Each structure stands twice: as structure tokens, then as C-alpha cells.
Structure 1
Amino acid sequence: MSSSPVSTSLPAQPYGRPPLRTVQVLGGGAGAGSSAHVRSLATGLAARGVRVTVCAPVHAEGEYDFTGAGAQFAPDAVSVLRAACAGADLVHAHGVRAGMRAALAMRGRRVPLVVSWHGDGPTAAGALGRLSRALERHVARAAAVVLGASSDQVDLARLRGARDARLAPVAVPTGPADTGAAADPGKVRAELGAVERPLLIAVGSLVPHRGYSVLLDAAQEWRGLDPMPLLVIAGEGPLRAELSRRIEAEGLPVRLLGRRRDAAQLLAAADLAVLPSRWEARALLAQEALRAGVPLVATTVGGVPELVGEGAVLVPPGEAGALASAVTGLLADPDRRAALAAAGRAQAATWPSEDDTVAQVLSVYDELMERTRR
């Protein structure tokens, strides 16, 4: 989704001081939320006179147009990242894996490293879990400041040894659905085959922690409703074949849409949004649903309760019955849906704007630059 320009209310670099040179590092596994955040951040920083280089996979540049935001783009090859960091005053990595790559590229240089923990997922068990925890410890201790997207991320960073961990909620970028450029909801519903039936939507990569297997379990119970709801899932990932087999074998009213650039328009046309995740930090779907006034059913995991407040129906993770009951209850109660939509918009109004997010990040940069000048 495209990002709107960020306000330039703050002044550029102080008189006589050279422009701050930053490198924003995105790893290959970066999700839509962190990629959109870097695009928004690059826009705001560049507007304030900061020189921004974004090191990211080539496909991310094609989708998020970092150069169009005023940044210089560099592929995330090791040698390119090392060269970019060599010319930077400050490096900001987004995600633990990106933080590790940045720390290695900066080895031997006295340049501040900021790491945003957007949420890399729950720690696995066994040897893989031990490796993940070791990675988190190394990155937490290498960073001058860790910025957590939710309170649980801040707590985790401190547990892993971060010297300085702060809450830094990430604003969801403004997209076409917020500027009046959205497609006609009736047309969208017709294209999806949901003209005279409820439309439910889930958005996110098809990976285990998204909880889509539980969502399909819940969809079995919706088959008895009249009219039968249609669930569409926008996203791509390694579980596509497994989910497709289940949908076909069990005759579930579910469509896998693959990766979509029009997720905001799909969401605006839906009756309900569903977030069945086993773990989330500051879920992009939750932010977009509440801001658009689309009733949301989500799980009580990670930073979700803190994010949505009273603006969503929350159910325990992994419980298909509770998820199905929450959805069917809302579909049968239009007044409650309307009240929930209003509560969601009110909750969204309390979140920081893109301008607020950029200003907070820039204040951290300025603080770190002052430390280095002492």
C-alpha cells in the first residue's frame, strides 16, 4: 500500500551542521508492516533534510518505492550493506535478523545502531529456539537503542540484555482507502462472489504463527449459516498448498487470494476482519481494520490487546470454537457491529500519526548524535 507524504513541520538540519546520514536496513523476511514503516520513515526523514539509504531486497524497492520517498536504494547484499554502513552516521535496522546483519556490517566502527523490533515471531523450541534467543541477545546488546513496537517487545528486549529499550509504536501508513481513492465496495464484493452473503477477510503471510489452520477449523462451523459467509485470505507463503488441500477436501467457504496490492480496498468491502494469529506485535491488519471502521475479531496475543483496547472482540489463541462463536455472534448483530466499528475508530484516533512516529525516531537519532559528539 502506498504511503502519503509526511508533514514537514519540523526544521531541517541545524544551520552549519552537515546532514545526518542514515542507513535503514530491512531483512529478506521483512513483513508488509515493517516495509511500509520504512517507506513512511524514509519519506519523513528525507523531508527533514536527513540523507537516507535503504538497504533491502530488490523486490521491496519494486513494491515500496523507497527512492520515490526521497531515499537512495541499495540491494541488501553483504558487501553493499557494509559499504553503505561505512558512510553512515547512524544505522537503523528493522527486525532482529536485519539487526544481526547490520551489526556484522558495522563491526569495528563506532556508529550508533538502532534496532526496531517489529516482531519477528515467537521463539521456537529446541535447538532452533536456543539459536533464536542467542540471536536476540546479540542484537539487543549490540544496539545503542532498541525500539519496541509494543510493550511486550520492549520487555523482551530488556530480558535479552538491551541497554536502552523504549516503546515506539509504529503508525500504519495512510493508503488509498483513507484518501477517498478506494474501489467501490459493491464491485469488490461482486468480484469476490460475496454479493448476497457476508464477507470475512484475513490478511497476512501464510505461515504457521498466523493461525490459519485454526481459522479453517472455525470456518467449518460457518457452513451452517444462511447465507453462508465467504472468507477470503490475502497473503502468500509456504502453507498455501496445505491450506488449499484442506479447503478443497472439506468444502470450506474460503478463498486464498494470494498476495494482493489492494488489501485496503478488500478490507473496506468486508463485513468483518479476522486476525487468528498465535502471536503478533502491532498487527497491520488490526490497525487498518479499526481505522477503516471494519469490526475485528482477534486473538489475545502479543501486543494486540494493548493496540485495540475496546475496539475489537478478543478470543484466546488456538480456540476455533471461540473464534467461530465470536464471528457468528457479530454477523447476527448489526447493532453490535456498528458499535464496534465506532469503538475501533475511536481507538485508532489515539494512535500516533506518521508524523508523530517520524518525530520520535528523529529525536532518538538526535540524542545518539549528541552522545557521539561528547
Structure 2
Amino acid sequence: MVLGRSAGGVGGHVDTLVAGLRGLGHEVQIVTADSTARTFGWADAHRLWPVHPGRRAPRGLVDWHRVMRLAGTVAVVHAHGHQAAVVAAVAVARARPRPRLVVSLHNDLPPAPPSAPGRARASVARSLIGWAIRRADLVTGASADLVDLARALGARRVEPAFVPSAAVADLLVSDRLGAPDRDALLAGAGIATDRPLVLTVSRIAPQKDLPTLLAAARSSRVPATWVVVGDGDERLRARLEDEARGIRRLDGSGPVVRFVGARTDVTTWLRAAEVFVLTSRWEARALVVQEAMAAGLPVVVTSTGGLPELVDGAGSLVAVGDPSAVAEEVDHLLLEAETRARRGAAARAVAATWATPDDETRRWVDRYAADTSGMT
């Protein structure tokens, strides 16, 4: 497994997949960044990231050759993400014997910056990624649009490989928190217990478009507490929190927005909430949306990437960057308990049809073993 820096869904997916493969008796090596290894407790990982020959020489050069040597000792190199795809493709090209190369796309390519140098760098990056994609024996996409992207970049063999959340199974059979436990959870975070909870679980990052979430909270008509669980860019968080402090109306009737940071009890927050919201500019099949649906929450998410396919008619889809639409959907759900319950039940019913992590691990074993003898 090759992946770069990750503290969220991609790293969590790799963690689940590695554990599943090892549980089936397969040997798995991991090449990643030190921060990623520490986040997921991979004590035996090869901490060889970043791999930039010439930029951090001599260490970078040593790490690059170590990755290439390691690639020659395995049957499959599975890269997760754009940068990892390029690193893995170079390593596999030099490895003897040559292992199979699998690339999994978990995110869309970032848009090109408006400046000429930025566009030039984006063009070079796209060319490198396309070269890696064309070298792969198999490319998978975490959503249908990523499958299309892989084909557009010249992938020879491509298929969807959806990333399931390991938390779904337990959430499908978990009840909502009772009032005493809910009140204790909120009070422990310094949050009033007399308002409905509108929950977002998200990294603090530009892709998640949290300014749209704050604008939606500001225009909401229903008194509620909007909580963001997650950490990330500290400077962005400071700006968002400063903006959030100005949202509540003087008479106390308006919404409250609170950032509570990273939590280890995310599933408990899901069981305490009335509505789940995600305003991302792009997502594949977001793990947090899977978990919210499995918890029986009505979801309000942006119509982008793999989210329309994921919610499958059981959630509210809004345009990217449209806070008025978000506020309207949230207010409707908060005011209409029957609608809220019906949509939550529909979301849970859809979640119950998804493949489990164990199912996907066995599917990955089949993919790794698939005959690629006719490919060059």
C-alpha cells in the first residue's frame, strides 16, 4: 500500500483494508508519511514520504530507491491518491520482478489556479498523473465520476471500487441517544441542550466549503445548534469561529454554530443529531455521509461527485455554494418531525443495502488476482 499524508477517509479506508487483508492471511507492507503512520497506529509502516528526489537529497534519494527496492519484493503495489500513483508507477517501472500496479482514485483533480504559473503546474501534474494511470494494470474510482476521470486519463482497465465505512454495521442497529445521554454529550461540550442539533463532520479545509455552512446557519429561521466536528487548517478554523460568533441574534432566537474539534465519539454525535449537513465542493462516497445515513439521520448534502449516487433518493441534494437552499432544507426537516423521521428511515434502508468492509476486502483479493497477462 502506498499513500501520502492522510488523517481522514482515505487513511481510514487503507487501515480497514490492511486489517482485512492481514486477517485473510496476506502479507501487507505500507509506504506512507510519518504523520499518517502515527495517526492510524501503523507501527510497522515504511515512513518514506515525501518521495522527492533532488528536493530533499540525500534523504529523498535514499527513500526513493528504498520504495523501488520494496516494490520488487511484492506481488501488487496499490497506490491511493494522485501523488501516490506517480510514486508507485515510477517504483513499479524500475522494480524487478515487476509487480502489478493498482491505482485507486479517491479525489477529483484540483481545479487549475487562475494564474499562468499555477495553470502550468496543474498541467504538469495532470500529465504526470495521466502517465501513472496509463501504467496501471487496474485503476479504480471511489465514485462514478472518478471512474470517468480515469478513463479520460487513459486507464486501460477501470472499475468502481466503493469505499465502505467500518462504522455502518453498528450504526444500523443503534438507537438514537436517549435524552439523558444526549444532554450529557452536549453539556460536556458546553452546548445548550434545549435546541435541535444540526451536525457536520468534516475536516477544516477549503474543499469542505464551511463558509457556505455558516451562511446557511445565519439564514436559518429555526433556532438550532449547528455543530462542526473535525479539525484541520487552524488558521481557517480561527476565521470560521470568528465569523460564527457573529451569527447569533441579540434576542437569542437565532442559530448557534460551534466547532468542537476532532472527536473519538463521532458515532455518538450522529446518534444525538436531528439533521446531518455536508456542504463540500466535491466528495466521492463520503464516509461520514454513509455513517449519518446508517444512523437514521436525514442528510442534506451537495449535489456533487458521488453524493447523488450515495444518497440514492433518500436525502436532500442542494447545489454547491447555495446556503439558502441548505437553510431551507434544514428548516423544513427541523419543523416537520414526520418528514424527518421518514427520510431518516429511508436513509437507513439504503445504507442497509451496501457492501460491508469484509465484502470489499474479498473483492479486493479478487481484483489483485485478476488475470492481466494480456496487458503490457
TM-score, L = length of structure 1: 0.84
Structure 1 stretches lacking a partner, 5+ long: 1-23
**1:94 pairs with one of 62, 66, 80:** 80
Amino acid at match of 1:324: A
Q: What residue is the counterpart of 1:112 in the other structure? A: 100
What is the CA–CA distance in structure 1 between the aligned matches of 2:32 and 2:278, rounded to whole Å?
Answer: 27
Amino acid at match of 1:346: A
Aligned residue for 2:31, secondary structure, equals strand
What is the CA–CA distance in structure 2 between the aligned matches of 1:284 and 1:182, rounded to whole Å?
Answer: 19
| Residues 1:288 and 2:294 aligned together | no
Q: What residue is the counterpart of 1:371 in the other structure? A: 373
- Quote the offset at 1:98 in angstroms: 1.4
Q: What residue is the counterpart of 1:39 in the other structure? A: 15
- Quote the offset at 1:142 in angstroms: 2.1
What is the CA–CA distance in structure 2 between the aligned matches of 1:51 and 1:373, rounded to whole Å?
Answer: 25
8 A contact 1:118–1:282 mirrored in 2: no
What is the CA–CA distance in structure 2 between the aligned matches of 1:66 and 1:323, rounded to whole Å?
Answer: 39
8 A contact 1:177–1:268 mirrored in 2: no
What is the CA–CA distance in structure 1 between the aligned matches of 2:143 and 2:294, rounded to whole Å?
Answer: 18
Q: 1:84/1:266 Cα in 2 relative to 1: closer, same or farther (>3 Å)?
A: farther
8 A contact 1:170–1:352 mirrored in 2: no
Q: What residue is the counterpart of 2:127 in the other structure? A: 134
- Quote the offset at 1:213 in angstroms: 0.9
- Quote the offset at 1:373 in angstroms: 12
**2:226 pairs with one of 220, 224, 231:** 231
8 A contact 2:168–2:291 mirrored in 1: no
Percentage identity across paired residues of the two chains: 36
Amino acid at match of 2:14: V
8 A contact 1:123–1:133 mirrored in 2: no
8 A contact 1:175–1:264 mirrored in 2: no
What is the CA–CA distance in structure 2 between the aligned matches of 1:159 and 1:120, rounded to whole Å?
Answer: 12
- Quote the offset at 1:96 in angstroms: 1.3
1:60-209 counterparts in 2 under 5 A?
Answer: 60-66=36-42, 72-77=44-49, 78=51, 79=63, 80-109=66-95, 110-120=98-108, 122-125=110-113, 126-174=119-167, 178=171, 184-192=181-189, 193-209=191-207
Amino acid at match of 1:353: T
Aligned residue for 1:133, secondary structure, equals helix
8 A contact 2:176–2:272 mirrored in 1: no
Amino acid at match of 2:8: A
Aligned residue for 1:97, secondary structure, equals helix
Amino acid at match of 2:74: A
Q: 1:336/1:175 Cα in 2 relative to 1: closer, same or farther (>3 Å)?
A: closer
- Quote the offset at 1:255 in angstroms: 1.2
Amino acid at match of 2:182: P
Q: What residue is the counterpart of 1:270 in the other structure? A: 273
Amino acid at match of 2:238: A
- Quote the offset at 1:182 in angstroms: 10
What is the CA–CA distance in structure 1 between the aligned matches of 2:123 and 2:80, rounded to whole Å?
Answer: 21
What is the CA–CA distance in structure 2 between the aligned matches of 1:161 and 1:213, rounded to whole Å?
Answer: 36
What is the CA–CA distance in structure 1 between the aligned matches of 2:158 and 2:317, rounded to whole Å?
Answer: 28
- Quote the offset at 1:199 in angstroms: 0.8
Structure 2 stretches lacking a partner, 5+ long: 52-62, 114-118, 249-254
| Residues 1:217 and 2:220 aligned together | no
What is the CA–CA distance in structure 1 between the aligned matches of 2:122 and 2:285, rounded to whole Å?
Answer: 22
Q: What residue is the counterpart of 2:54 in the other structure? A: none
Aligned residue for 1:355, secondary structure, equals helix
Q: 1:330/1:100 Cα in 2 relative to 1: closer, same or farther (>3 Å)?
A: same
8 A contact 1:42–1:66 mirrored in 2: no
What is the CA–CA distance in structure 1 between the aligned matches of 2:361 and 2:170, rounded to whole Å?
Answer: 22
Aligned residue for 1:297, secondary structure, equals strand
Amino acid at match of 2:212: V
TM-score, L = length of structure 2: 0.84
Q: What residue is the counterpart of 2:251 in the other structure? A: none
What is the CA–CA distance in structure 2 between the aligned matches of 1:121 and 1:257, rounded to whole Å?
Answer: 30
What is the CA–CA distance in structure 1 between the aligned matches of 2:187 and 2:170, rounded to whole Å?
Answer: 18
8 A contact 1:45–1:52 mirrored in 2: yes
- Quote the offset at 1:365 in angstroms: 0.6
Instruction: Give CA deviations for 1:179-202 in whole Å, capped at 9, x if unaligned.
Output: 869984332122231411011111
Instruction: Give CA deviations for 1:163-194 in whole Å, capped at 9, x if unaligned.
Output: 11101111111379648699843321222314
Q: 1:181/1:218 Cα in 2 relative to 1: closer, same or farther (>3 Å)?
A: closer
8 A contact 1:176–1:264 mirrored in 2: no
Amino acid at match of 1:100: V
What is the CA–CA distance in structure 2 between the aligned matches of 1:164 and 1:373, rounded to whole Å?
Answer: 10
What is the CA–CA distance in structure 1 between the aligned matches of 2:90 and 2:267, rounded to whole Å?
Answer: 37
8 A contact 1:205–1:236 mirrored in 2: yes
Amino acid at match of 2:229: A
